[in-house]
Chain A
Amino acid sequence: EDQVTQSPEALRLQEGESSSLNCSYTVSGLRGLFWYRQDPGKGPEFLFTLYSAGEEKEKERLKATLTKKESFLHITAPKPEDSATYLCAVQPFLNNNAGNMLTFGGGTRLMVKP
């Protein structure tokens, strides 16, 4: 069974204090790892897809990296508007169980104080 564990559950940062969020996973065969941002009371917003170990993607202050066992979401010089819950999800290669659906982690709630 695919499993995704995100840590820490909650993270408080001062504005400008860089840090990283972790997503550890076990999956039968990884087709893709997805990062989403979710603001309170809203649906998740797609950020990145990573497909293979060593791959990196960046968007503004966010950079996502991938190894064979985990992914990191690095936040450089965060601002209060970066406060949100960040969700990680893995997608296996197609198996016989009707498709390759996402398995989500529990998320990291990030709070950035001015």
Chain B
Amino acid sequence: DAMVIQNPRYQVTQFGKPVTLSCSQTLNHNVMYWYQQKSSQAPKLLFHYYDKDFNNEADTPDNFQSRRPNTSFCFLDIRSPGLGDAAMYLCATSRRTGGEVYNEQFFGPGTRLTVL
């Protein structure tokens, strides 16, 4: 089945120690997203890629970076995690079609990040 895969499912890091989360997809979608979701809150968009074009949300902290080396993979780098960065990180994909329309998003299972 076509799907969105995130690794690891659980990540524990120390305050200030860089961490990288990964996402891969077999849907062949041209858009990939990273969201942060804290307990009982709505997902918050951090950034998205359309192909290799990177789009950062205005309020995404500089501490968060992303890389998309190819269509199938996308990485989220947190350079110096703070206690407030503990959350579920969700990767999603969608297809952008004619007229710059982004269609429905399909989410991976998420990576739960704990910061000690």
Known: A43-B108, A45-B107. A102 touches B45 (CB 8 A): yes
A49 at the interface (CB under 8 A from B): yes
How many residue-residue contacts, CB under 8 A, span A and B? Answer: 58
Contacts of B48 on A, CB cut-off 8 Å? 99, 101
Interface SS majority for chain B: strand
- Number of residues in B with C-beta < 8 Å to the partner? 26
B55 close to A98 (CB less than 8 A): yes
Contacts of B102 on A, CB cut-off 8 Å? 91, 99-101
B6: nearest chain-A partner, CB-CB: A43
A94 close to B101 (CB less than 8 A): yes
Interface size grouping (class) on chain A: 20 to 34
Residues of B within 8 A of A (CB): 4, 6, 40-43, 45, 48, 50, 55, 88, 90-92, 99-102, 104-110, 112
